[in-house]
Amino acid sequence: MRVNRRHFAAGLATLVLGAPCARAADGEGGAVSLTYDDGLPSHLDVAAPALERRGLHGTFYVTWDNIVDRVRDWEKMPARGHELGAHTMHHPCNIGPLGPEPFADKEFRPLEAWLDKVAGAARPHDFAYPCDVTDLGPGSANIERARYEALLKRLGMISARNSEGPPNPATWVRRHPYRLQALAVGYDAQPLDVFNYLQRARHERRWAILVFHQVGAGPESDGAVTAAQHEALLDMVLAAGLAVRTVGEQMRRLTSG
């Protein structure tokens, strides 16, 4: 869906102005994770500073091709309190013809080695599916997905995130850690959708995961939000009564013990 950015801004202003007063986000009403896909320069320059001004931390799913020009800046993100997750080396959207091991060698292992180096091997090994595709190799959709999930398990991943679906119940996360559901801001999700999604997470004590792409200046795309819209959405998150946690931290809470 093409996003009308003027409507997006108008809806956002109404919702943020009309949002209930912020209350202590103790997590009793659920949790929310702020995730950023593709390793874009605007994540370093716009998104991360906006998070830090609010004492928040994000989960950044990086693609090597996009971070290689500023790899020194990306290496500093863990020390800034942010989490780095994998989003493959080259962001392939057509993985049907690939076998699991060549796919792992080409798209996973070099990036995992870099992530281990900059964030430590004990880091949460989180992953987000490029293009939301899970059809690895031949067979039915279920067989393809099972093949992909088996590979993620072999690679030591603890979670994998899609970009669609309702907030995650804890039982779903424990049963399907490679099927984390999320809401992609800007594509089909207008401000009212984000607001309703966060409210549902709070009322049903679920885990909401928001997905951002381009933030601030840069090429126009369906998933882009301006810096001001991003800031307003962060304020909406803070007012939602949810605990804000990185993906790895929330996975640890839901799966430990």
Query: Which residues make up the interface to Zn ion (CB under 5 A)?
Result: 37-38, 130
Least Å from the CB of residue 211 to Zn ion = 9
Burial 37-53 (b: 16+ CB within 10 A, else e): bbbbbbbbbbbbebbee
Least Å from the CB of residue 28 to Zn ion = 33
**Closer residue to Zn ion in complex, CB, 61/207:** 61
Least Å from the CB of residue 37 to Zn ion = 4
Residues 6+ apart with CB under 8 A from 162: 129, 132, 134, 179, 180, 181, 182
CA torsion through residues 95, 101, 105, 108, sign: positive
Alpha carbon distance 211, 185 (integer Å):
6
Least Å from the CB of residue 60 to Zn ion = 11
Least Å from the CB of residue 91 to Zn ion = 6
| CA within 13 Å, CB half, 25 | 23
Query: What's the token pair of residue 165?
Result: 């679906």
Query: What's the token pair of residue 60?
Result: 């950044």
Alpha carbon distance 5, 216 (integer Å):
12
Least Å from the CB of residue 221 to Zn ion = 11
Question: What are the φ/ψ torsions at residue 36 (nearest 5 degrees)?
Answer: -130, 125
**Using CB atoms, what's the residue nearest to Zn ion?**
37
**Closer residue to Zn ion in complex, CB, 29/58:** 58
Least Å from the CB of residue 93 to Zn ion = 9
Smallest Cα–Cα separation from 181: which of 237, 128, 145, 228? 128
Query: What's the token pair of residue 224?
Result: 């882009």
- Cα–Cα distances in angstroms (integers) from residue 87 to residues 40, 97, 111, 130, in the given order: 12, 19, 9, 6
**Closer residue to Zn ion in complex, CB, 130/177:** 130
**Closer residue to Zn ion in complex, CB, 1/79:** 1
**Closer residue to Zn ion in complex, CB, 37/83:** 37
**Closer residue to Zn ion in complex, CB, 247/254:** 247
**Closer residue to Zn ion in complex, CB, 38/83:** 38
